[in-house]
Structure 1
Amino acid sequence: MPQPRADAQRNRDALVAAARRVFAERGTNAPLDLVVKAANVGSATLYRHFPTRRDLLVAAYAEEIEEVCARARRLLSADDAVDGLFEWLAEFITHVSTKRELALAGTAGGEGDRSTLFESWHAAMRQAAGLLLDRARRRGAVAADVRAADLVTLANGIAMASVDEEQRARLLDLMRSGLTLWREYGLHKRQRNDMEARPPTR
């Protein structure tokens, strides 16, 4: 597949960046003229890259996903593996809380590929969480049987159910405490099983 010319790629990038700003400020039904103006391109350029509003919404949301995933990669260098993991989960929760409308608008009217889009986006998030979880697991900071999908599901639940930032932070703290207690329980259980398996001393 031929690569787009540099100027065409710049225009596309400018349109997506402008769309993200405009949709965040004005909602997903904002006039596309505002996107064109913010990107400093012509309407023909917009429709050449994105023939429909839905095409632009999907591209804008995909860029939001990539930003969250890139943040996970950067947090791999955090001093504390668990701090890095939960900093990312906090940002994931904010993403779900603030970008849900964009994700739904981008998949509206496309029943055939809505599930495909959501699955690809969810897979990217699980992979990002997995990078940080694996690092924490290698440090012995979390139990070996915790899965990235578990953490993403719990964090998504916090984003969907919480009523404000204070509650989101409190629920995430509870999640972190539970993860720590889960690990300690597993360690204590193994130690107890090891002790019970030892022959009695005489």
Structure 2
Amino acid sequence: MPDTRSLRSDARRNYELIVAAAVAEVARSGADASLEKIARDAGVGSATLHRHFPSRQALLEAVFHDRVEGLCAQARELATAAEPARALADWLRALAVHGATARGLAASLLASAREPAPPSSSTCEFMLRDAGGALLRRAQEAGTVRPEVTMDDLLTMVNAVSLATEDGPHAERLVTLAIDGIHPAPAR
């Protein structure tokens, strides 16, 4: 997300108006919200919207940045939990619920994951990979999550559940069921 402090006051105001309009429209219509409607609702022209956000994905990053930062803060809090596997599971469930109820978040992350270039450190995808990766590594070091499980595996699973349900309690239940599959098989 760009540092808006360096923008002229009118440009900063336009940026903030666009983001506010986009937050409202994405909540109503999802990730495929009309960019023209967002520009109209913000009281700016289409060119102004595209000057600030050269792609739909760039706009979605701004829309979801604060929500994703909250999920990352939760991961940092859970990173010191006594039970690493439970901390990871709790965070994955929170991510699934959030993705299912924040219309467009899961679709946005999925679109971001398809980009050929690696995500920059300011993208929602990178932020979630980084925050969740710390929880995953800790659980793997404790031997409570299989070593071949990757953060990409877990984010794909959570996104799939979120996209399939768009219902928080159902998403939480499905992720809980899937989490059983990431633990090591008991010795026979």
Q: Same fold (TM over 0.5)?
A: yes
Structure 2 letter corresponding to 1:13: E
Which residue of structure 2 lines up, in the alignment, with residue 173 of structure 1? 176
* Distance (whole Å) between structure 1 residues aligned to residue 140 and residue 19 of structure 2: 36
* Distance (whole Å) between structure 2 residues aligned to residue 18 and residue 59 of structure 1: 15
Which residue of structure 1 lines up, in the alignment, with residue 37 of structure 2? 31
* Distance (whole Å) between structure 1 residues aligned to residue 150 and residue 114 of structure 2: 22
Which residue of structure 1 lines up, in the alignment, with residue 72 of structure 2? 72
Structure 2 letter corresponding to 1:99: G
- Identity over aligned pairs, percent: 22
Which has the higher relative contact order, 1 or 2, with Cα contacts under 8 A spaced 6 or more apart? 2
Q: How many residues align?
A: 170
RMSD after superposition: 4.0
Conserved in 1, the CA contact under 8 Å of 2:72 and 2:131?
Answer: yes
* Distance (whole Å) between structure 2 residues aligned to residue 5 and residue 164 of structure 1: 38
Structure 1 residues 144 and 56: alpha-carbon distance in aligned structure 2, compared to 1, 3 A threshold: closer
Structural mapping, 1:67-106, within 5 Å: 67-68=67-68, 71-78=71-78, 79=81, 80-97=83-100, 98-99=103-104, 103=108
Q: Residue 156 of structure 1 is aligned with which of 156, 159, 162? A: 159
Residue 20 (structure 1) shift: 1.3
Q: Structure 1: which 5+ residue stretches go unaligned?
A: 37-41, 108-112, 190-202
Structural mapping, 1:1-202, within 5 Å: 4-5=6-7, 7=9, 8-9=11-12, 11-26=14-29, 28-29=33-34, 31-32=37-38, 35-36=41-42, 42-43=43-44, 47-51=47-51, 55=54, 57-63=56-62, 64=64, 67-68=67-68, 71-78=71-78, 79=81, 80-97=83-100, 98-99=103-104, 103=108, 115-116=114-115, 120=119, 124=126, 125-162=128-165, 164-179=167-182, 182-183=183-184, 185=186, 188=187
Structure 1 residues 57 and 91: alpha-carbon distance in aligned structure 2, compared to 1, 3 A threshold: farther
Residue 51 (structure 1) shift: 4.4
Q: Structure 2: which 5+ residue stretches go unaligned?
A: none
* Distance (whole Å) between structure 2 residues aligned to residue 168 and residue 116 of structure 1: 25
Q: Which has the larger radius of gyration?
A: 1
* Distance (whole Å) between structure 1 residues aligned to residue 117 and residue 69 of structure 2: 15
| TM norm structure 1 | 0.60
